[in-house]
Protein backbone atom coordinates (compact mmCIF):
# COMPACT_ATOMS: atom_id res chain seq x y z
CA UNK A 1 0.00 0.00 0.00
CA UNK A 2 1.02 3.59 -0.57
CA UNK A 3 0.17 6.62 1.48
CA UNK A 4 0.68 9.08 -1.35
CA UNK A 5 -2.45 10.56 -2.84
CA UNK A 6 -3.60 9.50 -6.30
CA UNK A 7 -5.14 12.30 -8.32
CA UNK A 8 -8.93 12.07 -8.33
CA UNK A 9 -10.08 12.50 -11.91
CA UNK A 10 -13.85 12.53 -11.42
CA UNK A 11 -16.40 13.12 -8.68
CA UNK A 12 -19.02 11.00 -10.43
CA UNK A 13 -20.55 8.15 -8.45
CA UNK A 14 -22.11 6.04 -11.20
CA UNK A 15 -19.03 5.17 -13.21
CA UNK A 16 -18.43 1.70 -14.64
CA UNK A 17 -15.53 0.98 -12.21
CA UNK A 18 -17.66 2.07 -9.23
CA UNK A 19 -20.60 -0.05 -10.38
CA UNK A 20 -18.27 -3.07 -10.64
CA UNK A 21 -17.02 -2.42 -7.09
CA UNK A 22 -20.60 -2.08 -5.82
CA UNK A 23 -21.52 -5.37 -7.49
CA UNK A 24 -18.57 -7.02 -5.74
CA UNK A 25 -19.81 -5.70 -2.40
CA UNK A 26 -23.30 -7.11 -3.07
CA UNK A 27 -21.69 -10.47 -3.82
CA UNK A 28 -20.06 -10.71 -0.37
CA UNK A 29 -23.17 -11.78 1.62
CA UNK A 30 -24.29 -13.96 -1.31
CA UNK A 31 -20.97 -15.81 -1.26
CA UNK A 32 -21.05 -16.21 2.52
CA UNK A 33 -24.60 -17.61 2.41
CA UNK A 34 -23.69 -20.07 -0.37
CA UNK A 35 -20.59 -21.40 1.38
CA UNK A 36 -22.24 -21.73 4.82
CA UNK A 37 -25.57 -23.15 3.69
CA UNK A 38 -24.43 -26.82 3.96
CA UNK A 39 -23.47 -26.31 7.62
CA UNK A 40 -27.07 -25.33 8.37
CA UNK A 41 -28.61 -28.35 6.66
CA UNK A 42 -28.90 -26.87 3.18
CA UNK A 43 -27.60 -28.31 -0.10
CA UNK A 44 -23.97 -28.07 -1.15
CA UNK A 45 -23.59 -24.87 -3.20
CA UNK A 46 -19.81 -24.83 -3.52
CA UNK A 47 -20.04 -24.57 -7.31
CA UNK A 48 -22.09 -21.37 -7.08
CA UNK A 49 -19.77 -20.03 -4.36
CA UNK A 50 -16.81 -20.66 -6.66
CA UNK A 51 -18.59 -18.80 -9.45
CA UNK A 52 -19.19 -15.77 -7.22
CA UNK A 53 -15.52 -15.77 -6.20
CA UNK A 54 -14.39 -16.03 -9.82
CA UNK A 55 -16.62 -13.13 -10.87
CA UNK A 56 -15.34 -11.04 -7.97
CA UNK A 57 -11.76 -11.67 -9.09
CA UNK A 58 -12.56 -10.60 -12.65
CA UNK A 59 -14.34 -7.44 -11.48
CA UNK A 60 -11.47 -6.65 -9.11
CA UNK A 61 -9.10 -6.65 -12.08
CA UNK A 62 -11.43 -4.67 -14.33
CA UNK A 63 -12.49 -1.87 -11.99
CA UNK A 64 -8.95 -0.60 -11.43
CA UNK A 65 -7.90 -1.07 -15.05
CA UNK A 66 -10.97 0.68 -16.45
CA UNK A 67 -10.73 3.51 -13.91
CA UNK A 68 -7.21 4.31 -15.10
CA UNK A 69 -7.88 3.80 -18.80
CA UNK A 70 -11.09 5.88 -18.86
CA UNK A 71 -9.84 8.52 -16.40
CA UNK A 72 -12.56 7.58 -13.91
CA UNK A 73 -10.51 7.42 -10.70
CA UNK A 74 -12.86 8.77 -8.04
CA UNK A 75 -12.92 9.39 -4.30
CA UNK A 76 -15.70 6.81 -3.93
CA UNK A 77 -13.78 4.26 -5.97
CA UNK A 78 -10.74 4.67 -3.76
CA UNK A 79 -12.92 3.58 -0.83
CA UNK A 80 -15.04 0.90 -2.54
CA UNK A 81 -12.23 -1.09 -4.16
CA UNK A 82 -10.12 -1.84 -1.04
CA UNK A 83 -13.30 -2.25 1.04
CA UNK A 84 -14.57 -4.94 -1.35
CA UNK A 85 -11.16 -6.67 -1.28
CA UNK A 86 -11.08 -6.81 2.50
CA UNK A 87 -14.69 -7.93 2.85
CA UNK A 88 -14.17 -10.78 0.38
CA UNK A 89 -11.05 -11.90 2.21
CA UNK A 90 -12.86 -11.68 5.56
CA UNK A 91 -16.02 -13.47 4.37
CA UNK A 92 -13.97 -16.20 2.72
CA UNK A 93 -11.93 -16.66 5.88
CA UNK A 94 -15.12 -16.95 7.94
CA UNK A 95 -16.71 -19.43 5.53
CA UNK A 96 -13.68 -21.67 4.98
CA UNK A 97 -12.71 -21.66 8.66
CA UNK A 98 -16.28 -22.49 9.70
CA UNK A 99 -16.24 -25.36 7.19
CA UNK A 100 -12.86 -26.45 8.69
CA UNK A 101 -11.16 -26.10 5.31
CA UNK A 102 -8.77 -23.42 6.60
CA UNK A 103 -6.84 -23.95 9.85
CA UNK A 104 -7.35 -21.44 12.65
CA UNK A 105 -3.68 -20.38 12.65
CA UNK A 106 -3.87 -19.17 9.04
CA UNK A 107 -7.11 -17.31 9.72
CA UNK A 108 -5.55 -15.74 12.81
CA UNK A 109 -2.48 -14.61 10.82
CA UNK A 110 -4.60 -12.86 8.19
CA UNK A 111 -6.98 -11.29 10.73
CA UNK A 112 -4.02 -10.04 12.80
CA UNK A 113 -2.63 -8.32 9.71
CA UNK A 114 -5.96 -6.58 9.12
CA UNK A 115 -6.07 -5.41 12.74
CA UNK A 116 -2.55 -4.03 12.43
CA UNK A 117 -3.52 -2.18 9.27
CA UNK A 118 -6.67 -0.83 10.90
CA UNK A 119 -4.65 0.73 13.71
CA UNK A 120 -2.28 2.28 11.16
CA UNK A 121 -5.21 3.78 9.23
CA UNK A 122 -6.54 5.37 12.43
CA UNK A 123 -3.11 6.88 13.08
CA UNK A 124 -3.05 8.25 9.53
CA UNK A 125 -6.43 9.90 9.94
CA UNK A 126 -5.38 11.53 13.21
CA UNK A 127 -2.58 13.22 11.25
CA UNK A 128 -4.92 14.44 8.51
CA UNK A 129 -4.12 11.92 5.77
CA UNK A 130 -6.76 10.36 3.54
CA UNK A 131 -7.36 6.67 2.81
CA UNK A 132 -4.33 4.76 1.54
CA UNK A 133 -3.93 3.50 -1.99
CA UNK A 134 -3.38 -0.18 -2.79
CA UNK A 135 -0.10 -0.73 -4.62
CA UNK A 136 1.10 -3.65 -6.72
CA UNK A 137 2.35 -5.65 -3.75
CA UNK A 138 -0.99 -5.39 -1.94
CA UNK A 139 -2.88 -6.32 -5.10
CA UNK A 140 -0.57 -9.28 -5.72
CA UNK A 141 -1.27 -10.52 -2.19
CA UNK A 142 -5.02 -10.22 -2.71
CA UNK A 143 -4.86 -11.97 -6.08
CA UNK A 144 -2.90 -14.87 -4.56
CA UNK A 145 -5.45 -15.25 -1.78
CA UNK A 146 -8.37 -14.99 -4.17
CA UNK A 147 -6.83 -17.83 -6.20
CA UNK A 148 -6.07 -19.82 -3.06
CA UNK A 149 -9.54 -19.72 -1.52
CA UNK A 150 -11.51 -21.23 -4.44
CA UNK A 151 -8.83 -23.86 -4.97
CA UNK A 152 -8.96 -24.85 -1.31
CA UNK A 153 -12.74 -25.00 -1.53
CA UNK A 154 -12.39 -27.20 -4.61
CA UNK A 155 -9.92 -29.45 -2.75
CA UNK A 156 -12.76 -30.85 -0.63
CA UNK A 157 -13.27 -34.34 -2.00
CA UNK A 158 -11.38 -37.30 -3.40
CA UNK A 159 -9.65 -37.70 -6.74
CA UNK A 160 -6.77 -36.23 -8.69
CA UNK A 161 -8.56 -32.94 -9.37
CA UNK A 162 -9.15 -32.30 -5.66
CA UNK A 163 -5.54 -33.26 -4.86
CA UNK A 164 -4.23 -30.90 -7.53
CA UNK A 165 -6.47 -28.11 -6.23
CA UNK A 166 -5.11 -28.66 -2.70
CA UNK A 167 -1.48 -28.45 -3.87
CA UNK A 168 -1.96 -25.23 -5.84
CA UNK A 169 -4.39 -23.82 -3.27
CA UNK A 170 -1.90 -24.12 -0.41
CA UNK A 171 0.88 -22.73 -2.60
CA UNK A 172 -1.19 -19.63 -3.38
CA UNK A 173 -2.25 -19.37 0.28
CA UNK A 174 1.39 -19.40 1.41
CA UNK A 175 2.48 -16.76 -1.09
CA UNK A 176 -0.63 -14.66 -0.48
CA UNK A 177 -0.21 -14.66 3.30
CA UNK A 178 3.49 -13.76 3.01
CA UNK A 179 2.83 -10.93 0.55
CA UNK A 180 -0.14 -9.75 2.63
CA UNK A 181 2.07 -9.33 5.68
CA UNK A 182 4.92 -7.86 3.64
CA UNK A 183 2.62 -5.20 2.17
CA UNK A 184 1.19 -4.47 5.62
CA UNK A 185 4.61 -4.06 7.23
CA UNK A 186 5.81 -1.73 4.45
CA UNK A 187 2.66 0.32 4.92
CA UNK A 188 3.21 0.59 8.68
CA UNK A 189 6.80 1.72 8.02
CA UNK A 190 5.48 4.47 5.72
CA UNK A 191 2.96 5.57 8.33
CA UNK A 192 5.69 5.72 10.98
CA UNK A 193 7.85 7.91 8.73
CA UNK A 194 4.94 10.29 8.12
CA UNK A 195 4.19 10.56 11.83
CA UNK A 196 7.85 11.26 12.60
CA UNK A 197 7.98 13.90 9.83
CA UNK A 198 4.88 15.60 11.27
CA UNK A 199 6.38 15.54 14.75
CA UNK A 200 9.63 17.09 13.44
CA UNK A 201 7.69 19.76 11.53
CA UNK A 202 5.82 20.71 14.71
Mean pLDDT on 90-94: 87
Residue 84: per-residue pLDDT = 81
Helices and strands: H and E segment counts in the chain:
6, 0
Select from 22, 38, 41 the least CA-distant residue to 101.
38
Q: Which residues contact 120 (CB under 8 A, 6 or more apart)?
A: 187, 188, 191
Is residue 118 a contact partner of residue 132, using CB atoms and an 8 Å limit? Answer: no
pLDDT classification of 2: cutoffs 50, 70, 90: very low
Other C-beta atoms within 10 Å of 124: how many? 19
Residue 149 within any structural domain of the chain = yes
Phi, psi of 93, deg, nearest 5: -60, -45
Residue 108 within any structural domain of the chain = yes
What stretch of H or E contains 33?
helix 16-36
Residue 5 within any structural domain of the chain = no
Residue 192 within any structural domain of the chain = yes
Residue 63 within any structural domain of the chain = yes
Residue 49 within any structural domain of the chain = yes
More confident residue, 155 or 14: 155
pLDDT classification of 4: cutoffs 50, 70, 90: very low
Instruction: Give the single-character DSSP code of 132.
Output: P
More confident residue, 75 or 173: 173
The answer to whether residue 1 scores a pLDDT higher than 70 is: no
CATH number for position 144: 1.20.120.1760
Task: Please state, in angstroms and rounded to a whole number, the distance separating the CA atoms of residues 45 and 99.
Answer: 13
Q: Is 24 exposed, middle or buried (0-12, 13-18, 19+ CB in 10 A)?
A: buried
Domain that holds residue 160: 16-201
pLDDT tens track for 110-126 = 889 888 888 887 887 88
pLDDT tens track for 97-109 = 998 888 999 999 9
For the entire predicted model, the pTM comes to 0.71
Residue 164: per-residue pLDDT = 93
Residue 4 within any structural domain of the chain = no
Helix pair 136-154, 160-201: axis angle to 10 deg:
150
The structural domain count of the chain equals 1
More confident residue, 100 or 194: 100
Amino acid sequence: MEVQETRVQTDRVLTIPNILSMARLVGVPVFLWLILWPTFGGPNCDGWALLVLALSGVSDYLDGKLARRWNQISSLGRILDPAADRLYVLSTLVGLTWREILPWWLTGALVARELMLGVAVLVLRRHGYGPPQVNFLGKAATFNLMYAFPLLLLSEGNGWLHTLAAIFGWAFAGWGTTLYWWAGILYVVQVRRLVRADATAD
